[in-house]
Amino acid sequence: MQEGGRMLATILEKVSQQINPGITTKELDRAAEALILHGGAKVAFRGYEGFPATICISINDEIVHVIPSERILKEGDIVTLDLGLIWQGFYLDMARTFPVGKVSFEAKLLIETTKKALRLGIKKARPGNTVGDIGNTIQRFVEGQGYGVVRELCGHGIGKELHEDPKVLNYGKRGEGETLKEGMVICIEPMITVGHWKLKKSEDGYGFATHDGSLSCHFEDTVAITSRGPLVLTR
Protein backbone atom coordinates (compact mmCIF):
# COMPACT_ATOMS: atom_id res chain seq x y z
CA MET A 1 0.00 0.00 0.00
CA GLN A 2 2.91 2.35 0.64
CA GLU A 3 4.17 1.70 -2.89
CA GLY A 4 0.72 2.34 -4.34
CA GLY A 5 0.33 5.44 -2.17
CA ARG A 6 3.55 6.96 -3.47
CA MET A 7 2.36 6.28 -7.02
CA LEU A 8 -1.01 7.91 -6.34
CA ALA A 9 0.57 11.00 -4.78
CA THR A 10 2.89 11.39 -7.79
CA ILE A 11 -0.03 11.07 -10.22
CA LEU A 12 -2.18 13.60 -8.35
CA GLU A 13 0.73 16.05 -8.32
CA LYS A 14 1.17 15.67 -12.10
CA VAL A 15 -2.54 16.17 -12.75
CA SER A 16 -2.62 19.23 -10.47
CA GLN A 17 0.11 20.88 -12.57
CA GLN A 18 -2.42 21.05 -15.41
CA ILE A 19 -4.88 23.11 -13.35
CA ASN A 20 -5.22 26.45 -15.10
CA PRO A 21 -8.06 28.72 -16.20
CA GLY A 22 -9.55 27.36 -19.43
CA ILE A 23 -9.03 23.62 -18.85
CA THR A 24 -12.08 21.37 -18.54
CA THR A 25 -12.56 18.91 -15.70
CA LYS A 26 -12.92 16.16 -18.33
CA GLU A 27 -9.39 16.89 -19.56
CA LEU A 28 -8.06 16.47 -16.01
CA ASP A 29 -9.97 13.19 -15.75
CA ARG A 30 -8.39 11.86 -18.96
CA ALA A 31 -4.93 12.85 -17.71
CA ALA A 32 -5.47 10.99 -14.41
CA GLU A 33 -6.66 7.85 -16.17
CA ALA A 34 -3.69 7.81 -18.55
CA LEU A 35 -1.19 8.21 -15.72
CA ILE A 36 -2.76 5.45 -13.62
CA LEU A 37 -2.83 2.96 -16.48
CA HIS A 38 0.66 3.91 -17.64
CA GLY A 39 1.95 3.13 -14.14
CA GLY A 40 0.45 -0.36 -14.26
CA ALA A 41 -2.24 0.35 -11.66
CA LYS A 42 -6.03 0.13 -11.99
CA VAL A 43 -8.61 2.89 -11.78
CA ALA A 44 -10.44 2.68 -8.43
CA PHE A 45 -13.47 4.93 -8.83
CA ARG A 46 -14.95 4.06 -12.22
CA GLY A 47 -17.93 1.77 -11.72
CA TYR A 48 -17.99 2.25 -7.94
CA GLU A 49 -21.69 2.75 -7.12
CA GLY A 50 -22.13 3.76 -10.75
CA PHE A 51 -19.49 6.49 -10.86
CA PRO A 52 -18.55 6.90 -14.56
CA ALA A 53 -15.10 8.51 -14.33
CA THR A 54 -11.56 8.16 -12.94
CA ILE A 55 -11.44 11.19 -10.65
CA CYS A 56 -13.94 13.25 -8.65
CA ILE A 57 -13.52 16.96 -9.46
CA SER A 58 -15.42 19.45 -7.31
CA ILE A 59 -15.45 23.23 -7.78
CA ASN A 60 -16.07 25.99 -5.21
CA ASP A 61 -19.25 25.07 -3.28
CA GLU A 62 -19.07 21.43 -4.40
CA ILE A 63 -17.53 19.18 -1.77
CA VAL A 64 -17.03 15.72 -3.30
CA HIS A 65 -18.02 13.04 -5.88
CA VAL A 66 -18.78 15.42 -8.75
CA ILE A 67 -18.46 13.83 -12.23
CA PRO A 68 -15.90 15.40 -14.62
CA SER A 69 -17.48 17.13 -17.63
CA GLU A 70 -16.93 19.88 -20.18
CA ARG A 71 -17.06 22.48 -17.41
CA ILE A 72 -14.20 24.96 -17.70
CA LEU A 73 -12.14 26.07 -14.70
CA LYS A 74 -12.09 29.85 -14.24
CA GLU A 75 -9.64 32.25 -12.61
CA GLY A 76 -10.48 32.49 -8.90
CA ASP A 77 -12.08 29.04 -8.61
CA ILE A 78 -10.88 26.46 -6.13
CA VAL A 79 -10.98 22.86 -7.32
CA THR A 80 -10.75 19.58 -5.42
CA LEU A 81 -9.19 16.51 -7.01
CA ASP A 82 -10.23 13.28 -5.24
CA LEU A 83 -8.42 10.30 -6.78
CA GLY A 84 -7.94 6.62 -6.06
CA LEU A 85 -6.19 3.65 -7.61
CA ILE A 86 -5.75 -0.08 -7.08
CA TRP A 87 -2.19 -1.39 -6.77
CA GLN A 88 -1.61 -5.15 -6.43
CA GLY A 89 -5.11 -5.67 -5.05
CA PHE A 90 -5.07 -2.79 -2.56
CA TYR A 91 -6.93 0.52 -2.75
CA LEU A 92 -5.37 3.94 -2.12
CA ASP A 93 -7.34 7.18 -1.87
CA MET A 94 -6.43 10.86 -1.50
CA ALA A 95 -7.75 14.38 -2.15
CA ARG A 96 -6.37 17.90 -2.40
CA THR A 97 -7.93 21.31 -3.06
CA PHE A 98 -6.07 23.70 -5.38
CA PRO A 99 -6.46 27.36 -6.38
CA VAL A 100 -7.14 28.15 -10.04
CA GLY A 101 -4.95 31.12 -10.87
CA LYS A 102 -5.26 33.97 -8.37
CA VAL A 103 -7.89 33.32 -5.70
CA SER A 104 -9.38 35.39 -2.89
CA PHE A 105 -7.83 35.64 0.57
CA GLU A 106 -10.91 33.81 1.88
CA ALA A 107 -10.24 30.86 -0.44
CA LYS A 108 -6.53 30.73 0.46
CA LEU A 109 -7.34 30.74 4.17
CA LEU A 110 -9.92 27.97 3.74
CA ILE A 111 -7.38 25.77 1.91
CA GLU A 112 -4.70 26.34 4.55
CA THR A 113 -7.14 25.65 7.39
CA THR A 114 -8.30 22.37 5.85
CA LYS A 115 -4.72 21.29 5.18
CA LYS A 116 -3.85 21.94 8.84
CA ALA A 117 -6.99 20.11 10.02
CA LEU A 118 -5.80 17.02 8.12
CA ARG A 119 -2.35 17.32 9.65
CA LEU A 120 -3.80 17.57 13.18
CA GLY A 121 -6.14 14.62 12.56
CA ILE A 122 -3.27 12.45 11.31
CA LYS A 123 -1.30 13.11 14.51
CA LYS A 124 -4.08 11.33 16.46
CA ALA A 125 -3.89 8.19 14.27
CA ARG A 126 -2.00 6.09 16.83
CA PRO A 127 -2.62 2.67 18.41
CA GLY A 128 -4.87 3.04 21.44
CA ASN A 129 -6.55 6.24 20.28
CA THR A 130 -10.06 6.11 18.84
CA VAL A 131 -11.60 7.46 15.66
CA GLY A 132 -13.44 9.87 17.96
CA ASP A 133 -10.09 11.35 18.99
CA ILE A 134 -9.38 12.14 15.33
CA GLY A 135 -12.82 13.64 14.72
CA ASN A 136 -12.79 15.69 17.91
CA THR A 137 -9.38 17.16 17.10
CA ILE A 138 -10.48 18.15 13.59
CA GLN A 139 -13.80 19.58 14.77
CA ARG A 140 -12.36 21.66 17.60
CA PHE A 141 -9.71 23.19 15.36
CA VAL A 142 -11.98 23.88 12.39
CA GLU A 143 -14.88 25.31 14.38
CA GLY A 144 -12.40 27.34 16.41
CA GLN A 145 -11.41 29.03 13.14
CA GLY A 146 -15.08 29.83 12.40
CA TYR A 147 -15.70 27.17 9.73
CA GLY A 148 -18.22 24.33 9.42
CA VAL A 149 -17.40 20.62 9.53
CA VAL A 150 -19.38 18.39 7.14
CA ARG A 151 -21.42 15.78 9.04
CA GLU A 152 -23.02 13.82 6.20
CA LEU A 153 -19.77 12.42 4.76
CA CYS A 154 -16.69 10.97 6.44
CA GLY A 155 -13.40 9.14 6.17
CA HIS A 156 -13.16 5.36 6.23
CA GLY A 157 -11.07 2.25 6.51
CA ILE A 158 -9.39 1.09 3.30
CA GLY A 159 -7.53 -1.97 2.01
CA LYS A 160 -8.92 -4.76 -0.15
CA GLU A 161 -12.03 -2.57 -0.59
CA LEU A 162 -12.29 1.16 -1.20
CA HIS A 163 -14.59 1.78 1.75
CA GLU A 164 -14.16 -0.44 4.81
CA ASP A 165 -14.88 -0.05 8.52
CA PRO A 166 -14.40 1.99 10.60
CA LYS A 167 -16.08 5.25 9.64
CA VAL A 168 -13.75 8.13 10.43
CA LEU A 169 -15.91 11.15 11.24
CA ASN A 170 -14.57 14.70 11.19
CA TYR A 171 -16.41 15.51 14.42
CA GLY A 172 -17.16 13.70 17.66
CA LYS A 173 -16.02 13.12 21.23
CA ARG A 174 -12.70 11.96 22.56
CA GLY A 175 -12.57 8.27 23.40
CA GLU A 176 -15.63 7.36 21.31
CA GLY A 177 -15.76 5.05 18.31
CA GLU A 178 -13.51 2.21 17.29
CA THR A 179 -10.07 1.90 18.87
CA LEU A 180 -7.18 2.14 16.44
CA LYS A 181 -4.86 -0.87 16.28
CA GLU A 182 -1.48 -1.44 14.69
CA GLY A 183 -1.85 -2.58 11.08
CA MET A 184 -5.11 -0.77 10.39
CA VAL A 185 -5.23 1.60 7.41
CA ILE A 186 -7.71 4.49 7.32
CA CYS A 187 -8.54 7.51 5.18
CA ILE A 188 -8.70 10.78 7.11
CA GLU A 189 -10.47 13.46 5.08
CA PRO A 190 -11.65 16.73 6.62
CA MET A 191 -14.36 18.42 4.54
CA ILE A 192 -14.76 22.04 5.55
CA THR A 193 -17.23 24.81 4.65
CA VAL A 194 -17.09 28.59 4.97
CA GLY A 195 -20.82 28.63 5.76
CA HIS A 196 -23.16 25.99 7.14
CA TRP A 197 -22.08 22.35 7.02
CA LYS A 198 -25.33 21.02 5.54
CA LEU A 199 -25.08 19.58 2.03
CA LYS A 200 -27.33 19.03 -0.98
CA LYS A 201 -26.92 17.08 -4.22
CA SER A 202 -24.76 18.86 -6.79
CA GLU A 203 -26.15 19.73 -10.23
CA ASP A 204 -24.95 16.45 -11.78
CA GLY A 205 -27.17 14.53 -9.33
CA TYR A 206 -24.23 12.47 -8.11
CA GLY A 207 -21.94 14.69 -6.06
CA PHE A 208 -22.54 16.93 -3.06
CA ALA A 209 -22.40 20.71 -2.61
CA THR A 210 -22.96 23.07 0.30
CA HIS A 211 -26.63 23.82 0.88
CA ASP A 212 -26.04 27.55 1.24
CA GLY A 213 -23.64 27.84 -1.73
CA SER A 214 -20.63 28.66 0.43
CA LEU A 215 -17.07 27.66 -0.47
CA SER A 216 -15.89 24.21 0.57
CA CYS A 217 -12.58 22.40 0.78
CA HIS A 218 -11.46 18.75 1.06
CA PHE A 219 -8.11 17.16 1.90
CA GLU A 220 -7.53 13.41 2.31
CA ASP A 221 -4.67 11.00 2.96
CA THR A 222 -4.46 7.24 3.38
CA VAL A 223 -2.77 6.58 6.74
CA ALA A 224 -1.41 3.36 8.27
CA ILE A 225 -1.53 2.86 12.06
CA THR A 226 1.91 1.70 13.23
CA SER A 227 3.67 1.22 16.56
CA ARG A 228 5.85 4.22 15.70
CA GLY A 229 2.88 6.47 14.97
CA PRO A 230 0.91 7.40 11.85
CA LEU A 231 2.48 6.51 8.50
CA VAL A 232 1.02 8.61 5.67
CA LEU A 233 1.01 6.39 2.60
CA THR A 234 -0.17 8.96 0.04
CA ARG A 235 2.89 11.20 -0.01
pLDDT per residue over 113-141, tens digit each? 999 999 999 999 999 999 999 999 999 99
Side chain identity, residue 183: G
Q: Compute the radius of gyration of the chain from its Cα atoms.
A: 17
pLDDT per residue over 142-200, tens digit each? 999 999 999 999 999 999 999 999 999 999 999 999 999 999 999 999 999 999 999 99
* End-to-end CA gap in the chain: 12
pTM, 2 dp: 0.97
CA–CA separation, 32 vs 61, rounded Å? 23
pLDDT per residue over 3-21, tens digit each? 999 999 999 999 999 999 9
Domains annotated on the chain, with CATH = 2-232 (3.90.230.10)
C-alpha to C-alpha distances, 212 to 1, 60, 120, 193, nearest whole angstrom:
38, 12, 27, 10
